[in-house]
A = this chain, B = another copy of it.
Amino acid sequence: MKKAGGEDALLERIERAFPGAGGPLLLGPGDDAAVLKVRPGYRLVATVDEMCEGAHFLDSFSKPELIAGKLLRINLSDLAAMGDVRPLALLTAAGLPRAASGSWARRFITALRAEARRWRVAVAGGNIARSDKKHFSMTVLGECRGFVTRYGARPGDLVYSLGPLGLARAGLELLMSGSARRGRAALIDAFWRPRPMLAEGALIGRRGLASAMLDNSDGLYRSLGIIARLSGCRVKARLPEAVCSPELRRWAALRKKDWRMYALAGGEDYGLVFTCRPSKEALVRRLLPGALRVGEAVKGRGVGVEDYGGEIPVFEHF
């Protein structure tokens, strides 16, 4: 299970309450997605994610098309983090205020159909309920051969980040501030249209590159903490300048903040964070030139960040 908002105690309670495997489950709550063995040689992957007004977006800066797109993409990102996965089908549940039951709902449906087609996912079912505020949940099913867990790292492994860092948080701040958006489309897009790294995840899975992997949904610091906790090691992090995009650099300077704060504590980036054995380093560099090394696993517990003396706030959805 995944818990938004940093309440790690509840998350850990949930992990203890539900066993990780058993019955049809090869992998249960606590990873990006569950893996079910439904037939010999056939593995079904299933994940669920949620977007709630007031927690993940405000009505003032959202549109049905943006929500439909992001809802599917963040679920696909969970599948990508499992490795060699082919998405199959989605089911979605929407809570809508009465005022949104007309054209808003129609636009949402039209957009969901288009996004599902784009990512080749069949719309299998859904439910609409009445609700004061908008909320949406989605389950996406896929099939996989192998899968990569969050708990396979060991001391000596190298830690990589693939995809944007901190941009979505900057985009959210921009949307919340009401500042001019011109010239800042990259930030808005990072927030609303994260790209699920299905191809990269599949490559990592097929080639056996990663010892542990997850999608980066609550900031790099928290992602590294999850790998460290579940793998029973410590992660020493070090952020090279290369992980900071020009757009983030400009935004951080404007806000008079260290860009590393965004990279470490900004949420909803939805790139991939993975560890690999040193023997795979050359292969990772060659096959995934966009992957940047951001640390290494060592003996111990927790996460340490070099070259950063600032505070690392826990990412909270508002």
- Residues of chain A whose beta carbon lies under 8 Å from any beta carbon of chain B: 1-5, 7, 10, 13-14, 17-18, 22-25, 28-29, 33-34, 36, 38-39, 42, 44, 46-52, 54-56, 88-89, 91-93, 95, 101, 105-106, 109-110, 113, 120, 122-133, 135, 137, 139, 141, 143, 317-318
Kindly list chain B residues whose C-beta atoms are within 8 Å of the C-beta of A5: 129-130
Given contacts A42-B42, A93-B49, A133-B131, contact A33 B122 (CB under 8 A): no
Kindly list chain B residues whose C-beta atoms are within 8 Å of the C-beta of A54: 130-132
**Cα separation A268 to B169 with both chains bound (whole Å):** 42
Given contacts A46-B91, A48-B93, contact A122 B4 (CB under 8 A): no
20 contacts between A and B (CB under 8 A): A1-B128, A2-B126, A4-B127, A4-B128, A10-B106, A17-B109, A25-B122, A29-B124, A36-B89, A36-B122, A39-B42, A46-B91, A46-B139, A50-B129, A55-B129, A55-B130, A56-B129, A93-B137, A129-B135, A131-B135
Q: Select which of B14, B47, B127 is within 8 A of A48 by beta carbon.
A: B127
Let me know if A38 and B124 touch, CB within 8 A: no
Q: Select which of B1, B23, B101, B124 is within 8 A of A127 by beta carbon.
A: B1
**Cα separation A93 to B136 with both chains bound (whole Å):** 9
* Residue in chain B with minimal CB distance to A126: B1
Given contacts A23-B122, A39-B42, A137-B93, contact A129 B52 (CB under 8 A): yes
Kindly list chain B residues whose C-beta atoms are within 8 Å of the C-beta of A33: 125
Given contacts A14-B109, A29-B123, contact A42 B52 (CB under 8 A): no
Minimum Cβ distance to chain B for residue A132 (Å):
6
Minimum Cβ distance to chain B for residue A131 (Å):
5
Given contacts A113-B18, A123-B28, contact A88 B1 (CB under 8 A): no
* Residue in chain B with minimal CB distance to A32: B125
* Residue in chain B with minimal CB distance to A48: B91
**Cα separation A185 to B95 with both chains bound (whole Å):** 30
Kindly list chain B residues whose C-beta atoms are within 8 Å of the C-beta of A48: 91-93, 125-127, 139
Given contacts A101-B7, A113-B18, A122-B23, contact A38 B127 (CB under 8 A): no
Let me know if B122 and A28 touch, CB within 8 A: yes
